[in-house]
Amino acid sequence: MFFEPMNYGNAGLEHNPLKAIVAPRPIGWISSCGVDGSINLAPYSFFNAVSEDPAIVMFSAQAFGPEHQKDTLRNVTETGVFTVNIVGASQVQAMNISSGDYPYGENEFNAAKLSMIPGTTVNVPHVGNVPAALECMLLQTIALPANDRGENYTAVLGTVTGIFVDDSVVVDGKISYALLAPVARMGYRDYANINDFFELGRPIIKFEDP
């Protein structure tokens, strides 16, 4: 089958398959603060690292019209900082609770019964007991084009200013995926535990001097 992105129905598919095709995606569980001092936490799976040195990450927040932007985007544009938490294996339910559509100002750390650990390089708490967290400074927001219902995403790029790693997930100087146990988002309502790893070196191409 072949179809234009929003014509999946003509191809016999029940749901937009994009997120099932671009899967698995890491989950950026993003904590942020407003200028009023309110604290926010929500998961974003349009999330990834986009540059290693300097370390830069990106997430993308959906808006249902200009009046309905997500609290995370509002906070990040207000204060210029955020923290990306990595969801621990035992924290999937809490992550899901924090995705609820709570009113602005309601602290999802409380709703999900999570502890707050003060940030080091940014004035944003990270989630207690996470295997890792990335403290970030806002680099740039990019308003992406809207659909015909006036809904659009805003991509948010952040420079990583500090990295927290729980010592318990480090083995012989490397992060152990088995201990980090990252939870990934698939399409539909599906998630994946990533637990099958293999190593592969890149080819070394030798150029002969002419």
Ligand X SMILES: Cc1cc2nc3c(=O)[nH]c(=O)nc-3n(C[C@H](O)[C@H](O)[C@H](O)COP(=O)(O)O)c2cc1C
Which residues contact ligand X (rule: CB under 6 A)?
27, 40, 42-46, 60-62, 70-72, 96, 99, 101, 185
Query: Residue 182: CB partners within 8 Å, gap ≥ 6?
Result: 26, 86, 87, 194
Residue 171 Cβ vs ligand X, minimum distance, rounded to whole Å? 27
- Burial class (CB within 10 angstroms; exposed 0-12, middle 13-18, buried 19+) of 210: exposed
Nearer to ligand X, 101 or 196 (CB): 101
> Closer CB to ligand X, residue 77 or residue 176?
77
CB of 197 to ligand X, least distance (A): 22
Q: How far is the CB of 60 from ligand X (least distance, A)?
A: 6
| Residue whose CB is less far from ligand X, 43 or 119 | 43
The distance of closest approach from Cβ of residue 28 to ligand X in the complex, given in angstroms and rounded to an integer, is 8
- Closer residue to ligand X in complex, CB, 71/135: 71
Give the amino acid at 142: I
CA atoms within 13 A on the CB side of 104: 14
Which value, to the nearest 10 degrees, does the dihedral of the CA atoms of residues 118, 90, 189, 86 take?
40
Tokens of 39: 């604290």
Q: Which helix (H) or strand (E) holds 97?
A: helix 92-97
| Minimum separation from the CB atom of position 205 to ligand X (A) | 37
- For ligand X, the closer CB: 31 or 169: 31
Q: Which is nearer to ligand X, 80 or 171 (CB)?
A: 80
Shortest distance in whole angstroms from residue 116 CB to ligand X: 15
β strands within 166-200, DSSP E: 170-171, 174-175, 183-185, 191-193
Neighbouring C-beta atoms of residue 26, cutoff 10 Å:
19
